[in-house]
Amino acid sequence: MTLQFVRQAVRAGRATLARQQLAMTGSRRTLVVVRNGQTVVRGLKKDEALYMKNPHGIEYPGNAETFAPLQELLGSEYALPEELMLQALTHKSFAHGKKPYNERLAILGKQLLRMETGRATAQSAAQGTQESINGHNFDVNERAIELLSSSPTLSQVCRLAKLEKSIFWRPADAGKGGETTIYSTSMSAVVGAVLLQHGAERAIEFIRSRLMAGPYSVFDISNQLFVDTA
């Protein structure tokens, strides 16, 4: 399609005509868009292959090996469809937000995790005290509850579960301190995905059995991380 053709089409009375001229320049392409005979966009379009890999070089959407660590964490009891696992492991920074990402799942999961760890903390604080009401003591250290679902704690859970290589996020952010937030968001999103797929009762079971006990216990991890700050 030539510029002469564009001008002829405009003169012929067509309302809108767009023309793209693409010339490969290394890994990028020059982009020109023409509407109504006027250039409205001129610039460079990045090769998609450059931003469809995570910082560990895994190309979206991954494969069976990519999902294996998460499947091991979930077990058969809390298994998720592959597309939901992929969304839980995809941050909004990846691929310019063009792929389904985990922001809303993370919000759901974080709230449920905070509620359940708060309940457990209140129950624990009530043991042996006269101030407890129905087995709960609400005069507890709010800072301690906050730390149980904090970014450093959930990020460490993510690392221990070996999920970090499976997360899709913008490679440009790697090594700049963004990993803690990204990993934490993904862990919260996993809880949100379990909630969405299996319901609240099963999601609470998941939190209690996987994240409040065993090798990924947020109680043990937060104690190790914040023993002098709580």
Domain with residue 182: its CATH number is: 1.10.1520.10
Distance of CA 69 to the CA centre of its chain: 15
Identify whether residues 67 and 155 lie together within a single domain.
yes
Identify whether residues 116 and 25 lie together within a single domain.
no
- Main-chain dihedrals φ then ψ at residue 211, nearest 5 degrees: -115, -5
Predicted local distance difference test score (pLDDT) of residue 121: 82
| Both structure tokens of 20 | 């793209």
Predicted local distance difference test score (pLDDT) of residue 142: 76
| Both structure tokens of 190 | 């996993």
Range of the domain at 23: 3-48
pLDDT at residue 27 is higher than 80: no
pLDDT at residue 26 is higher than 80: no
Identify whether residues 41 and 60 lie together within a single domain.
no
Residue 88 and residue 167: Cα distance in Å, rounded? 9
The larger pLDDT score, comparing residue 130 to residue 221, is at 221
Identify whether residues 27 and 80 lie together within a single domain.
no
Cis ω before 61 (30° cut-off from 0): yes
40: helix, strand or coil: strand
Tens of pLDDT, residues 165-181? 999 998 654 456 689 99
Identify whether residues 93 and 124 lie together within a single domain.
yes
Identify whether residues 77 and 174 lie together within a single domain.
yes
Predicted local distance difference test score (pLDDT) of residue 151: 95
pLDDT at residue 131 is higher than 60: no
Identify whether residues 97 and 33 lie together within a single domain.
no
Identify whether residues 72 and 179 lie together within a single domain.
yes
Predicted local distance difference test score (pLDDT) of residue 32: 58
**Domain total of the chain:** 2
The larger pLDDT score, comparing residue 92 to residue 16, is at 92
Identify whether residues 221 and 195 lie together within a single domain.
yes
pLDDT at residue 12 is higher than 80: no
Instruction: Please check whether residue 102 is in contact with residue 186, taking contact to mean a CB–CB distance below 8 angstroms.
Output: yes
Predicted local distance difference test score (pLDDT) of residue 122: 78
Residue 91 and residue 195: Cα distance in Å, rounded? 19
228 pLDDT tier (thresholds 50, 70, 90): low
pLDDT at residue 95 is higher than 70: yes
Identify whether residues 142 and 38 lie together within a single domain.
no
Identify whether residues 143 and 193 lie together within a single domain.
yes
Domain boundary among 32, 48, 64: 48
Residue 136 and residue 122: Cα distance in Å, rounded? 5
Identify whether residues 42 and 142 lie together within a single domain.
no
pLDDT at residue 52 is higher than 50: yes
